[in-house]
Amino acid sequence: MANDADAIRCDACPVLCYIKPGRTGSCDRYGNHEGKLVRLDPHVVLERALERGDSVVPFLERARDWDGTLIHQSEVAHGETFVTAIGAGTTYPDYKPAPFIISSQVEGVDMVTVVTEGIFSYCGVKVKIDTDRHMGPECSAVRAQGEAVGHVTTSEYGSQMLSLGGVRHLTGGSRHEGTATCDTLLNLCNGKAVELKIDGGAKVVVQAGKPPIVDGAQEERMRVGCGSATIGMFAKQWFGKVDDVVVVDDHITGVLSEHQAGKLLGVPETGIKLKGRRSTPGRYFQVAEPGTAWGGTDIEDPLTILGKFNAKKAWPALRLLMVSTTGEHHAYFELDDELKPRQKELPEALIESVARIRENCEPALCTVLFMGGAGGSLRAGVTENPVKLTHSVRDALTRVTCGGAPVYVWPGGGITFMADVSRMPQNAFGYVPTPALVAPIEFTLKLADYASLGGYTNHVRPLSSIATKDDSRKRVTAHSENPWPLESATKKKKR
């Protein structure tokens, strides 16, 4: 029987099943798919997990071995505990060993996590605000409580960027400026809403993971693209239903009849005349001033960006749609006998195309990245020879996390990193009246590597001594999108 020609032998376990095509082995997990041994999705298990509301992890990938204790009673998913630095306290002066140097075993490798809360004088936040509304000129001061706490930096795709904090605002200005900056950073990092006023620009309420509120109006959506891109995306859906379309955008306003997309479809000229500077056919810059109305301009009435229609080309009853890049603003016009646009109700046939623009826009959010430099004296709490820690981070032997969240370590000197505050547990940040921010930081590395970089090996204590004997430890569920800090460190080793 076992010599069945088309059966394959599964060597995933010592049962060594012979599996016929289209069937599974005795485990129901491995199957013969067209002569190949494949691992199947355990969908039943998955469905049940979903029914229970369990977080779903890739099959077998995250299953970790159990260490024989029940320390993570009901909180930490999938069998292991990682101690974050939140609430660990700090040591001062820094050359004293970090408050917790913890050993835990991962896949048989002794791992050390050095946990401390760093006092960061060099720190700040980068804020990305998904909106096309004009927030203020580049380099303008951003104020909180009347004090300059940062500035408007370069615009990015669909977003306005703010750079807040930094050592100059924290320590370089007046006492009140430092306090206001520290307060702003602390609230933003802890996920609270902060009201900011931009010199010569808007008043904006920023909160990590929430839509921005610009001058009292909550932003709903990021734009689908620039005005010209919007023409390109929807030209076909408009063709035949309307004679011309203007997509109003502070950066690049698009006109269907002149745009390459319209030309290719054979849309006839309409004699429309746009104000602003023509870049290429159907694409206009600076049709209005930047603002918080239509498409990030200051216009409330879209007709103000149009000149007179060319009487030689336009015709009475010509149908014109004007729409913003989010679909949030739209108006429909028909030309009267004098070729003047008269607003009419949006025809049925165009409602869908406007809705389509809206549904292609992603939700607008504020996102906050904490940026801090741990290259200084904090390292002395980890090792007697601080530069070795820096080298170890560079060589990817030591993994840095911030409240368990992954960080991007900026290339070059020092340990300057960025981390998404929304991936950290709540209230992960604190402050000292210096003023400076207190942020969690964890260094995870192999015990042997820790010893070789001059670590405080005699202060290393097992995880169980932290996690079992003291109810002051709060256990939180790991953020589902974060890689497991210990896992990543060992995986790196194996390569």
Q: Is 73 in the site for another protein (CB under 8 A)?
A: yes
Q: Is 65 in the site for another protein (CB under 8 A)?
A: yes
**In the set 38, 43, 54, 385, which binds another protein (CB under 8 A)?**
54
> Please, which residues have CB within 8 angstroms of residue 375's CB and are 6 or more apart in sequence?
390, 413, 414, 415, 416
Min dist CB 67 to another protein, Å, is 4
- Window of 60-68, 133-141, 362-370, 377-385 that interacts with another protein by CB under 8 A: 60-68
Q: Is 491 in the site for another protein (CB under 8 A)?
A: no
- Tell me the chain's radius of gyration from C-alpha atoms: 30
Residue of 19, 14, 22, 26 whose CA lies nearest to 4 = 19
- Window of 3-11, 198-206, 207-215, 368-376 that interacts with another protein by CB under 8 A: 3-11
Min dist CB 29 to another protein, Å, is 8
What torsion, rounded to 10 degrees, do the Cα atoms 381, 384, 387, 393 define?
-60
Min dist CB 41 to another protein, Å, is 15
Q: Is 17 in the site for another protein (CB under 8 A)?
A: yes
Q: Is 55 in the site for another protein (CB under 8 A)?
A: yes
Q: Is 70 in the site for another protein (CB under 8 A)?
A: yes
Min dist CB 69 to another protein, Å, is 6
- Window of 66-74, 259-267, 294-302, 323-331 that interacts with another protein by CB under 8 A: 66-74
Min dist CB 62 to another protein, Å, is 9
Q: Is 67 in the site for another protein (CB under 8 A)?
A: yes
> Please, which residues have CB within 8 angstroms of residue 215's CB and are 6 or more apart in sequence?
133, 202, 203, 204, 292
Min dist CB 462 to another protein, Å, is 10
**In the set 31, 72, 247, 441, which binds another protein (CB under 8 A)?**
72
**In the set 102, 106, 222, 231, which binds another protein (CB under 8 A)?**
106
- Window of 76-84, 201-209, 260-268, 453-461 that interacts with another protein by CB under 8 A: 76-84
Binding residues among 21-50 for another protein as defined by CB under 8 A = 23, 25-28
Min dist CB 468 to another protein, Å, is 10
Which residues would be at the binding site for another protein (CB under 8 A)?
1-4, 7, 12-20, 23, 25-28, 54-55, 60, 63-70, 72-79, 105-108
